[in-house]
Amino acid sequence: MLSEESFVLQTLNSGLYFLRTIRDFAINIQLSFLENNSEYISTAKDFGDRAEELIGDLMVYANENVTKEALNNQIFVTAYTLDTELLTEKLFFIDIDTTITEEQSKLAAGFTQNPSQTIIDELMRVNKSALTLVTNFISFCENIIARMSNNDLFSYSYISLIEAMMTEANLYKLNLERLSAGNNIDPSFKADYEYLFNNLLQRYASFVRGFVDPKNAEVILRAGAFSSEFGLIASEYKNAIVNPNVAEELKVRSIDTIDRFRDFLSEVIEDLLDSKTYFIVEPILLDNILTTANYFKYTLLATSY
């Protein structure tokens, strides 16, 4: 069974990452529709607002209650999060709660032994609300995909991007259900988890290739190469009979690829912020992809075989 201390740490570490991710996904969906789809626009905005509210609830308890590894790997905010939020506001005329980012940038690591029942009860409430939010968000995405696939709905987003959003949302849902049941992480799920994140980063690298101005051949080629690398590792996870030696080898290769991908994304975002390259998506989506890579690196470093 999960200890109360582990429940607090895991709720905060995973919740602050996944809720921000869903917030950013909701903004992407909100901005991808035409004005005549006002119902979808307002629904997506509501999901983003609710995710921000839950992040705010978690932040009440986050300082000195998150791990040093989470902060070092920048799984909540990156060096570019605030700037990409401000640029997104400028380009798309929307309001983003940047105070959350400023507060998360100041978080200190720590560990509260014997957390109070008040903290436990409040975090359980947040997890319950987050489970409702993510379950409804998945249904919302399923509806969008079904209607787009039937040519009943137009969006500037890709169906495959929304499918990737659903993958992350489902990972959060599984994690919330585990935390609600008070269970530790099942060791048998680790290889599947690593496969899923390699598969996600394969898709995200492919999206970066598709989002950039076609004249930027270097970004297109490098993003395509990373997509192939992550795809190969994901395929090996899926097809290999995983034992401790094989799992450790795949983990090392994943970390190496992630580190190079993170450097690439940092260059891309810096060029975007310096107006040296152009993307057809809101800047925070690129920062969100970087944060996903950071989170995967964090989970890999926490995994042992």
- Report pLDDT digits (tens) over 57-82: 999 999 999 999 999 999 999 999 99
Predicted pLDDT at 299: 92
pLDDT digits (tens, 9 = 90+) for 77-136: 999 999 999 999 999 999 999 999 999 999 999 988 899 999 999 999 999 999 999 999
Interval 143-198: pLDDT, tens: 999 999 999 999 999 999 999 999 999 999 999 999 999 888 776 677 788 899 99
What are the angstrom distances between the C-alpha of 89 and each of 99, 105, 194, 211, 288? 14, 19, 34, 19, 15
Q: Which fold has domain 185-305?
A: Ferritin (1.20.1260)
CATH match for 1-66+110-183 among 3.40.50.11540, 3.40.630.30, 2.60.40.2310, 1.20.1260.120 = 1.20.1260.120
Biggest alpha carbon distance in the chain?
57
**pLDDT tens by residue, 270-288:** 999 999 999 999 999 999 9
- Every domain of the chain and the residues it spans: 1-66+110-183, 185-305
Q: Note the pLDDT of residue 305.
A: 42
